[in-house]
Amino acid sequence: MRNEKLKACRLAKKSFLNSFLDGVFTVPAMENIDFKSVLAYLVGHQYSGWIVVEAEQDPKKYNPLEYAQKGKSILMSY
């Protein structure tokens, strides 16, 4: 999530849809979620199931392929 956009959307009491359209979401680990710690926790507890990560973004503003590649690159770096 983009911290500043999230704060603004919460203050304005925007819906999920309007927050999404305003660009509150981004690819994993680009802002306020520490995915490295989350993944380390899962590995440390021998989790072997699926992990689903979504980056809800308006494709008119953020190129889906570009942002999918960014997210994959970030997660693979751990």
The contacts of residue 46 (CB under 8 Å, 6+ apart) are: none
pLDDT greater than 80 at residue 27: no
Nearest Cα residue to 35 out of 43, 10, 19:
43
Question: Rounded to whole angstroms, what are the CA distances from 2 to 43, 47, 77?
Answer: 26, 28, 21
Nearest Cα residue to 53 out of 63, 7, 33, 62:
33
List pLDDT tens digits, range 33-52. 788 888 899 999 999 999 87
Amino acid, res. 25: F
Would you state the structure tokens that stand for residue 25, as one six-digit string?
């979401």
In this prediction the pTM is 0.60
